[in-house]
């Protein structure tokens, strides 16, 4: 299923045009088709498609809430590359992705392996682990902020109990705020990716395992030589989704740390918001938007390429 979601046009509609070749019929069909699409398309055109195209154009313009738009070529990008806050935000976003992607992936796979068995009541466990993913973000951020309280928070109490004397200051420390955000987001997201892995695991034919067992493969060997290769399409999809979502991280940061302390957790999305909506620098913020889009696009294309080479 995973590959299918990526290539949605795999099965083109074969609606037989009634009265083929009949021009009047064709015109009628066009009219009918458009009436179906129009209610959604008007909203989509005005509030998604045009803003997307505008974002591209704006990044080459100087436009603030106090001045008229003016074409400036690459000036916004030059300013961005010279700006310290851009590099800080980019670095934080990359660090977040480096922490978030592998941890979520590993835990999601582990949970899926544990939960991929026929036991009574297994559904309860799956639902419980999935639930954080759809819990409101503000509630999640608020609870974790309290769990991370540097003084008497449960997490630091636990760390003291297992003998760690200098427990970190988490969201109040500029070194530990980003790890705290990463831990929270891993907890929140792993249930979703577990569901994807579970689907992947259940699609592996049991004959493969039986054959490996007959050949005398140990549980570990079966994992490395049957499970992991069979899961490759799922893993590919999970990595793409996780990486893209990591680079887009926004609301969790805004609610949990609001970029602080200092600039230690400011990410690209937040910089776009601050510059564009906060300070009204429409052109400059669009240049940062374009960079965010290009990063997301590059990551996706790169991973597609890697996947293709592996399959060959």
Rg of the chain's alpha carbons, rounded to an integer? 25
Residue 130 touches other proteins, criterion: CB under 8 A: yes
Alpha-carbon span 151 to 84, nearest angstrom: 33
Verify binding: residue 299, other proteins, rule CB under 8 A.
no
Is 205 a residue that touches other proteins (CB under 8 A)? no
Q: Considering only 73-81, 86-94, 144-152, 304-312, which stretch makes contact with other proteins by CB under 8 A?
A: 144-152
**Helix, strand, or coil here: 217?**
coil
State the minimum distance, in angstroms, from the CB of residue 175 to other proteins: 22
Among 15, 82, 162, 214, the residue binding other proteins under the rule CB under 8 A is 15
Q: Residue 49 interacts with other proteins (CB under 8 A)?
A: yes
CB of 40 to other proteins, least distance (A): 4
Q: Does 131 bind other proteins (CB under 8 A)?
A: yes
C-alpha to C-alpha distance for 240 and 256, rounded to whole angstroms: 25
Number of residues that bind other proteins (CB under 8 A): 107
Q: C-beta of 277: minimal distance to other proteins in Å?
A: 5
* Residues 157-176 as x/- pattern, contact with other proteins by CB under 8 A: x-------------------
Q: Is 292 in the site for other proteins (CB under 8 A)?
A: yes
Please report whether residue 34 would count as binding other proteins according to CB under 8 A: yes
Q: Which is nearer to other proteins, 7 or 312 (CB)?
A: 7
- Check residue 42 for interaction with other proteins (CB under 8 A): yes
Separation between Cα atoms, residue 304 and residue 153, nearest integer Å: 43
Q: Which of 124, 117, 182 is nearest to 148 (CA)?
A: 182
Cβ-based nearer residue to other proteins, 161 or 312: 161
Four-residue CA torsion sign, 62, 65, 67, 69? positive
In whole angstroms, how close is the CB of 255 to other proteins at the nearest point?
6
Minimal distance, residue 296 CB to other proteins, in Å: 6
Counting contacts by CB under 8 A, is residue 293 touching other proteins? Answer: yes
Enter the tokens of residue 88.
């800080």
The DSSP code for 175 is T
Q: By CB under 8 A, what part of segment 211-270 binds other proteins?
A: 241, 244-245, 247-248, 250-251, 254-255, 268-269
Contact call for residue 196 and other proteins (CB under 8 A): yes
Cβ atoms 256, 211 nearer than 8 A: no
Contact call for residue 68 and other proteins (CB under 8 A): no
Residue ranges in the chain assigned as alpha helix (H): 2-6, 23-44, 50-58, 75-82, 84-115, 122-130, 137-147, 154-161, 177-202, 206-214, 219-222, 228-230, 232-247, 251-256, 268-273, 282-311
Q: What is the dihedral of CA 173, 174, 178, 184, to 10 degrees?
A: 20
């Amino acid at each position: 299923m995973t590959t299918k979601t990526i290539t949605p046009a795999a099965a083109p509609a074969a609606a037989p045009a009634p009265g083929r070749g009949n021009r009047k019929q064709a015109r009628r069909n066009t009219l009918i088709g458009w009436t179906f699409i129009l209610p959604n398309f008007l909203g989509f055109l005005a509030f998604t498609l045009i803003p997307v195209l505008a974002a591209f154009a704006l990044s080459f313009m100087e436009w603030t809430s106090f001045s008229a738009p003016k074409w400036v070529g690459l000036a916004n990008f030059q300013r961005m590359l010279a700006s310290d806050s851009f590099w800080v935000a980019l670095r934080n976003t990359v660090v977040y992705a480096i922490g978030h992607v592998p941890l979520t992936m590993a835990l999601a796979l582990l949970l899926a392996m544990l939960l991929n068995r026929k036991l009574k009541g297994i559904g309860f466990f799956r639902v419980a682990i999935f639930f954080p993913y759809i819990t409101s973000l503000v509630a999640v951020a608020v609870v974790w902020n309290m769990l991370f309280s540097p003084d008497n928070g449960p997490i630091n109490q636990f760390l003291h109990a297992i003998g760690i004397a200098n427990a970190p200051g988490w969201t109040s420390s500029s070194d530990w705020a980003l790890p705290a955000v990463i831990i929270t987001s891993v907890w929140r997201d792993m249930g979703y990716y577990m569901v994807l892995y579970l689907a992947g695991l259940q699609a592996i034919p049991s004959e493969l395992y039986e054959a490996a067992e007959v050949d005398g493969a140990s549980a570990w060997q079966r994992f490395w030589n049957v499970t992991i290769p069979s899961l490759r399409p799922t893993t590919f999809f999970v990595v793409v989704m996780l990486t893209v979502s990591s680079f887009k991280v926004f609301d969790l940061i805004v609610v949990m740390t609001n970029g602080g302390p200092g600039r230690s957790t400011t990410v690209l999305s937040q910089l776009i918001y601050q510059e564009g909506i906060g300070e009204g620098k429409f052109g400059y913020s669009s240049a940062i938007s374009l960079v965010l889009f290009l990063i997301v696009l590059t990551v996706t294309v790169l991973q597609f390429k890697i996947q293709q080479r592996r399959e060959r």
